[in-house]
Structure 1
Amino acid sequence: MVLNLMFIASSLHSPSPCTLFSSHKLCWSSFKTISKQSHAFLHRNPSLQRHLSLGSKRVLPSVCFFNTEDKSDSKESGWPILRRWEVPWEWQTVSLTSLACGFGFVLAGLTEAIALPYLGIKPDVLSLDDKAEILLLDQSITTAVVLGIIYSVANTFQPLPEDFFKYDLREPFNLQKGWLLWAGVGLAGAILAISLTGVAVSFFNGETPQRETDALVRLLPLIGSSNLSTACLVGITGVLAPLLEETVFRGFFMTSLTKWVPTPVAVVISAALFALAHLTPGEFPQLFVLGTALGFSYAQTHNLLTPITIHSFWNSGVILLLTFLQLQGYDIRELLQAT
């Protein structure tokens, strides 16, 4: 109360009164004048000075409001996994960029299919190793095109917040944001959840879904055919596909959704879109669970290396396991159908 009265009195006698700006900040020069007068007044009244010093933590914040912005939003939540991203674009950008990524994906495949005959390449007569190399080239081109679209759009909003499209190798085992630590947690959780989901789906459906259209089934002729084919498949499924899909579905789409919905809701929506994009209805429950694990692991660290690592170990682990079983003489097509 005393300081408020001093402020009014000094304002009435000040030769240049403080002007209030739209951001509710006080004029700095007047603030310094008031501070000097306040110190002089308190020096002449030691008892009042002792009284104010006891309650300074309650009184002083009411003197000057330099920033009245509300900090109670969920972006400042103590739970990292609930923290939102500071999204700089609107829904129109999200929609158009998503359409452009889909168009780029289709266009890259069509361009390659049209270009191969002109280059004298006939896919029907190629060896398995040649087919594996072409698949690797196709995935490389698609990844470059789609990521080029994403980063071209994002570049128009520079400077971006530091946790957008973040690939940070530092502090891999940090308890709160360690990308490798949480990748391990996410992978273990994904394996357990997907296993339980598979059991539940089999129990309620009573029959095994047909998988003849799955991408993995279409790759079976290449699995275990040679070291070159295996290396190409691991490069496709363990490096390029995780980099592309996690940047698109988690790095762009999921983070963008947090501008309008809470982070857990954004995780669920992006997981559903991730599962639908694989065009394998029979595997939707498992892919949805995997996408959810990827989303929550990314929400925890805000580092894309976390979901990329989980996705990479999942994909490449499946390829290497099937290769091992193939070399041991198992019929992996029958195993896939059974599981």
Structure 2
Amino acid sequence: MTDSLITLPEAAEHAISIRAKALTFEDPRSRLLLERVRLVAPSDATALIIGESGTGKELVARLLHTLSGRGQQPFVAVNCGALSESLIESELFGHEKGAFTGAATSKPGWFEAADGGTLFLDEVGDLPPSAQVKLLRVLQEREVVRVGSRQPRKVDLRLVAATNVNLEAAVQAGRFREDLYYRLNVARLALPPLRERTGDILPLARHFLEQYAKRLRIAAPELTPTAQQRMLAHAWPGNIRELENVIHYAMLVCRNGRVEAADLQFSALALRRPEADAPAAAAHVAATAPAGTAPSLEQALLELFQQAPPGLWQHIEETVFRTAYEYCEGNQVQTSRLLDLSRNIVRARTAQFGIHQTAQRTF
């Protein structure tokens, strides 16, 4: 591992992974991040890594682990969003024989597996409320209780959590426990999106060119000046993951050992408006509304407030969710992205509001 580039170990085993598999520290913002990682790593403080999908949060977690005193101990990575809600507690905290149907033997959870080392909880914002309560207790008491047991087991590990969800907004909306948020948000590391650290784009591109050239057993092609300009001008909504896919495709179609601008196939997905622009957008809506009137959404809310019906907030939340769900034609993935909710929350809301789910429209 060098100071300028880190990759997942045994990268070939991650060929079908959706994770970002490389991260550089060439851009000034990335160098500041690296310095922060070096300062935080030696301690056992709980770390919270925030950043958009595909920015390399697991790589930063692994770097924290490697630079810490636990570097020779296990590093266990768990994607909370990939665990089913019914089994997430037994997966994280373990279970005893007979604790539930199918529990033929006792099994330690991921916390016990990471004992002595580092446990990385990715997509921690997807944890259901019941698991949030247990996670809080583990962080407070440094012990786990397996499902079906009353005997606590001590664990000695460092917890690193990551999310692409706005946890502050989730706390305000009641989807994430405030006390757990403060327990996680000790050493906060923010990964800028690739579009905000353009100095990393070309070094990453060259790294992926070399990696795919090795797989294809050919010489690594060069990026032409026009191709470099196109890459630097692109917004990269998919971040490092998208960059890798663009390079992979370019390697397959380029000729004469040169990647031209025409060989680059960019994502057509539009970037969501950054949160920092939200006040300006609201001001624009207000400024463009007819004189003496409020924007339509604000006016509708004001009328509701005047009526003050019982269960007002639940009515608003259900109306927003149902409208978004219908707009997305019953697709839970698109609804999750549109409303900036975790997948588990979308599943829970469809059940709470009695929304019928078809097999074709589930995850």
TM-score bracket, shorter-length normalisation: under 0.3
Q: Which structure has more helix as a fraction of its residues? A: 1
Q: Which has the larger radius of gyration?
A: 1
TM-score for both structures, normalised by structure 1: 0.22
Higher strand proportion: 2
- If asked which structure has higher relative contact order (CA below 8 Å, sep 6+), I would say 1
